[in-house]
């Protein structure tokens, strides 16, 4: 099975460089355009099933990229960032750069936030259920943290060694066939390169 991992398009809080975690923030105008640009790519690849986070920015992205019969699952929500929800990233970093970098590396949690280990368990429990039914290309529309959690669990890529995937980007992970999980595609965008994507 191939996991087609799509991060939602830019949200209004991504544009403002604010951490959102599980806050239900919609797409920005640019985010909608980004998702629309990915539609023909997803259409060409094709998918047999789709599962997505139930938050608005992901639901809208799923619709715009042409996902069909999407099953929404709370288990694919972004990591809960607790007291950092809605705060400007620059302010968090100015206050405690080490805490921010520890959170990005999965080694610490914001006050009141979800631990990385609990988050990975939550996300992979959803994926494991999906793996029970045959599917060539499973489309997973989700959040940047969810993609990092999947890549750590299945491919052994620690979050400290993965840049944030760009909004409305596509990554692909191949599972099964008697081979180790293989990262086939990472951070693909149909119209540009992106090395400085927001958390």
* pLDDT for 199 beyond 70: no
Measured in degrees and rounded to the nearest 5, phi and psi for residue 68 equal: -115, 145
* pLDDT for 193 beyond 80: no
pLDDT-based confidence at residue 176 (cuts at 50, 70, 90): confident
Q: Which of 182, 54, 47, 73 is nearest to 126 (CA)?
A: 73
Strand 2-7 relative to strand 70-72: parallel, antiparallel, unpaired?
unpaired
Count other Cβ atoms within 10 Å, centred on residue 97: 10
Residue 78 annotated in active site: yes
Q: What is the pLDDT of residues 60-77, one digit of tens each?
A: 999 999 998 899 999 999
Which pLDDT score, from 0 to 100, does residue 6 have? Answer: 98
Mean pLDDT computed over 85-114? 95
Q: What is the pLDDT of residues 122-134, one digit of tens each?
A: 999 999 999 999 9
Q: What is the residue-averaged pLDDT of the chain?
A: 95
pTM, whole model, 2 decimals?
Answer: 0.94
Task: Give the tokens for residue 22.
Answer: 């599980």
Q: What is the pLDDT of residues 11-27, one digit of tens each?
A: 999 999 999 999 999 99
What is the rounded CA–CA span in Å between residue 168 and residue 143?
A: 10
- Of the residues 8, 47, 114, 143, only one is catalytic, namely 8
Which pLDDT score, from 0 to 100, does residue 136 have? Answer: 94
pLDDT-based confidence at residue 195 (cuts at 50, 70, 90): confident
Q: What is the pLDDT of residues 131-175, one digit of tens each?
A: 999 999 999 999 999 999 999 999 999 999 998 899 999 999 999
Task: Give the tokens for residue 60.
Answer: 């809208």
Which pLDDT score, from 0 to 100, does residue 100 have? Answer: 94
pLDDT-based confidence at residue 48 (cuts at 50, 70, 90): very high
Please, are residues 3 and 39 in contact by the beta-carbon 8 Å criterion?
no
Residue 8 annotated in active site: yes
Question: Residue 21 class from Cβ within 10 Å (0-12 exposed, 13-18 middle, 19+ buried)?
Answer: buried
Which pLDDT score, from 0 to 100, does residue 38 have? Answer: 97
- Of the residues 47, 78, 114, 143, only one is catalytic, namely 78
Per the rule left: phi > 0, alpha: psi between -120 and 50, beta: everything else, 17 is left
Which pLDDT score, from 0 to 100, does residue 178 have? Answer: 82
User: At 92, is the secondary structure helix, strand, or coil?
Assistant: helix
Q: What are the beta bridge partners of residue 18? A: 88
Which pLDDT score, from 0 to 100, does residue 102 have? Answer: 93
Which pLDDT score, from 0 to 100, does residue 198 have? Answer: 67
């Amino acid at each position: 099975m191939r996991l087609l991992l799509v991060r939602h398009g830019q949200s209004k809080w991504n544009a403002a460089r604010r951490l959102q975690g599980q806050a239900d923030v919609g797409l920005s105008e640019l985010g909608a355009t980004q998702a629309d640009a990915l539609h023909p790519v997803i259409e060409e690849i094709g998918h047999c099933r789709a599962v997505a986070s139930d938050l608005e920015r992901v639901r809208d992205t799923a619709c715009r990229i042409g996902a069909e019969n999407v099953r929404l699952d709370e288990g694919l929500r972004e990591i809960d960032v607790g007291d950092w929800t809605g705060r400007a990233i620059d302010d968090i970093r100015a206050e405690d750069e080490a805490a921010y970098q520890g959170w990005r590396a999965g080694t610490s949690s914001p006050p009141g936030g979800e631990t990385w280990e609990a988050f990975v368990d939550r996300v992979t429990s959803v994926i494991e259920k999906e793996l029970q039914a045959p599917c060539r290309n499973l489309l997973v529309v989700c959040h940047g943290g969810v993609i990092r959690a999947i890549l750590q669990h299945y491919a052994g890529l620690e979050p400290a060694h993965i840049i944030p995937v760009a909004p409305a980007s596509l990554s692909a992970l191949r599972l099964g066939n008697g081979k180790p999980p293989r990262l086939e595609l990472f951070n693909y965008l149909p119209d540009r390169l992106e090395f400085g994507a927001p958390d």
